[in-house]
Amino acid sequence: MTEVQTRKAGRPKTSVLNPDQIVDAAFEVVHEAGPDGFTLTRLAAKLSVKPPALYHYFANKDAVIKAMRGRLASLNDVTGFARGSWDTAIFPWARSYRAAMLAFPASIALLATRPIDGEEESVANYETISASFLAAGWPEHEVVTILVALESFAIGSALDALAPDDNMSPGAFAADAPIFAAAEQARRDHAANRCTSVADASFELGLALMVAGLRMRLAELRA
């Protein structure tokens, strides 16, 4: 579990650490210890190193988290924006965004509450998407506002997907809420019949709603 620490003080002949390796270990620590258990002490231990050693590679804990975000950003699929229309490109991008979050369940809360603030990968993705939106005729001041709204939905949907399937069950209060109880059951049956999860159904429906709303809005802006 805790690897033995035998290194003496002083610069080692060859570097023990590098940024990529630290980020790798950071994801492992979050996975094992949860968001609240993600401490630099544990991260250092995972790397068989003392906490201050990390400060040679990252300014502070937030900087480590920022780098983790960058890693996730590289999983985002923005290829559609470069070659197709903005409204169809949104779907694979939003799905990949949510999937990236879901790949590191414990990290979602940790990563979602921190600023993206100039992470190289993210910025490159945003540049591609922004160009596509502007070319489609969106006003400049709305591009990032839309982007953030879509991301917020993807993040919230990822959190929802982590909840158990009976998350919305009225439980002991079903008798007091017959209409809701029946609707909740109907939702679960419908998803089961289609071999999908209720969380996926909400994500896909919400995404379709937002894109439909965007198409309407752009048409109005052009008129």
Residues 84 and 128 sit within 8 Å (Cβ to Cβ): no
- Per the listing, tokens 């019949």 go with 193
- Per the listing, tokens 């492992």 go with 28
When the beta carbons of 59 and 216 are compared against a copy of itself, the nearer one is 216
Contact of residue 99 among DNA, a copy of itself, none (CB under 5-8 Å per partner type) = none
Binding-residue total with a copy of itself (CB under 8 A): 82
Contact of residue 192 among DNA, a copy of itself, none (CB under 5-8 Å per partner type) = none
- Using CB under 8 A, which residues numbered 124 to 153 contact a copy of itself? 124, 126-127, 129-131, 133-134, 140-153
Nearest distance in Å: CB 11, a copy of itself: 28
Q: Which long-range contacts (CB under 8 A, 24 or more apart) does 115-120 make?
A: 115/66, 116/66, 116/69, 116/73, 117/66, 119/66, 119/67, 119/69, 119/70, 119/73, 120/70
- Using CB under 7 A, which residues numbered 94 to 113 contact DNA? none
- Per the listing, tokens 């158990």 go with 164
Contact of residue 217 among DNA, a copy of itself, none (CB under 5-8 Å per partner type) = a copy of itself
Instruction: Pick the stretch among 2-10, 42-50, 71-79, 210-218 that binds a copy of itself (CB under 8 A).
Output: 210-218
- Per the listing, tokens 């002949």 go with 13
Residues 26 and 17 sit within 8 Å (Cβ to Cβ): no
- Using CB under 7 A, which residues numbered 19 to 58 contact DNA? 38-42, 44, 48-53, 55-57
Instruction: Tell me how far the alpha carbon of residue 190 is from its chain's centroid.
Output: 27
Instruction: Pick the stretch among 19-27, 37-45, 51-59, 120-128 that binds a copy of itself (CB under 8 A).
Output: 120-128
Ramachandran angles phi, psi of 35, nearest 5°? -60, -45
Contact of residue 131 among a copy of itself, DNA, none (CB under 5-8 Å per partner type) = a copy of itself
The single residue among 20, 28, 32, 62 that binds DNA, judged by CB under 7 A, is: 62
**Residue 201 touches a copy of itself, criterion: CB under 8 A:** yes
**Residue 203 touches a copy of itself, criterion: CB under 8 A:** yes
Instruction: Give residue 7's identity as a one-letter amino acid code.
Output: R
Whole-angstrom Cα distance, residue 182 to residue 188? Answer: 10
CB contact set of 127 (below 8 Å; sequence gap of 6+): none
**Residue 61 touches a copy of itself, criterion: CB under 8 A:** no
Nearest distance in Å: CB 185, DNA: 28
